[in-house]
Amino acid sequence: MTEPFTQADDARKELIAADHAEGRLDVWLAAELEGEFSRNRVKALIEQGAVEVNGAAITEPKRKIRPGDTVTIVLPEPEDPEPQGEDIPLEVLYEDDDLIVISKPAGLVVHPGAGNWTGTLVNALIHHCGDSLSGIGGVRRPGIVHRLDKETSGVMVVAKNDLAHRHLAGQFADHGRTGPLERAYQAVVWGRPRNLHGTIDAPLGRAHDRTRRAVKRHEGGDAREAITHYEVMERYGENPDATCLASLVECRLETGRTHQIRVHMAHIGHPLIGDPEYGGSYRTKANRLPEPARTIVNTLHRQALHAYLLAFEHPATGEVMHFEAPIPEDMETILEALRSL
């Protein structure tokens, strides 16, 4: 069965292998496309002659990638039906002719994909905005400039026209290094980082499955730079030796990799409370909490992560826009319980 997917307006994508690139072509290319296509789909495209390396068609998926290789992939026409508008409530923080800013609730998938062809933010946006969304993101991702995980809540901006989309996409690609873009998250983590503020510089790549990510060596075939700046804002259940049961941490991204905050905090030994992917081994820590905090923490069935702040330059006016979304009720309930320790 052919796996459905969508492409953007341009039917070709060109990628250049970094100095540390290595391994099989299909593995490397699937990682570079960051989940846009599965490895099996990439392998099939290679076998169909849709991939060129340095101008020559390659039909062998296990061909080794080399630093400096120029890889071009020709994308077939989309095979899945266009998503339809659905009357899903949206919390709109701001809207004009160029963009819309919303506060995404936990549990809402951003765009249609395998297992989630309906009930997504895109379906809600199509219903709310009609035909005004940018087409540059492709059929399944109209207007989508950046994403949040399904179970991560918080502020998102969506483009309504191609000019706004390109302008915003450029800001997100820059990650605020030279422009006004700001993204800040609130995370409730187990324990307390040794340093109350710091930077986690650890490349990320695919784990042993299609969805999870893991810290990789810089020279790893699919390792991509990932940098997170963090600061401990509150500590709960603190002990005389300065350890504590949990902390509220603010995280700011210098890069935007999939699951970046979740993997990075777990990497330094402080996974997010409720994280089923990267914090499962810490679930028993809840047993050390007194009631009612223990029961409250055990009722959280998602990672305690909220994108509370987003700032960017308006693509038409040049004004720096600043938006904040209050921490959602489920996380606030946990914080109140932890503050009572």
The yes-or-no answer on residue 241 being catalytic is no
Q: Which amino acid is at 58?
A: I
Scored b (16 or more CB within 10 A) or e, 57-68 reads ebeebebebeee
Q: Give residues with Cβ within 8 angstroms of 74, minimum separation 6.
A: 11, 12, 45, 50, 51, 52
Token pair in block for residue 166: 């390109």
Six-digit token pair at 21? 């690139």
State the Cα–Cα distance between residues 70 and 56, nearest whole angstrom: 10
The answer to whether the peptide bond before residue 276 is cis (omega within 30 degrees of 0) is no
Helices (H) and strands (E) in the chain, counts: 7, 15
CA-nearest of 57, 164, 76, 153 to 110 is 153
- Single-letter residue type at 78: P
Tell me, what DSSP letter sits at residue 64? B
| Residue 127: exposure state from Cβ atoms within 10 A (0-12, 13-18, ≥19) | middle
Please, are residues 330 and 106 in contact by the beta-carbon 8 Å criterion? yes
CA–CA dist 217, 135 (Å, integer): 37
Cα dihedral 65, 71, 74, 75 in deg (nearest 10): 70
Report helix, strand or coil for 333: helix
Q: Which of 26, 98, 149, 275 is catalytic?
A: 149
Query: What's the start-to-end Cα distance of the chain, in Å?
Result: 54
Q: Which residues are catalytic?
A: 149
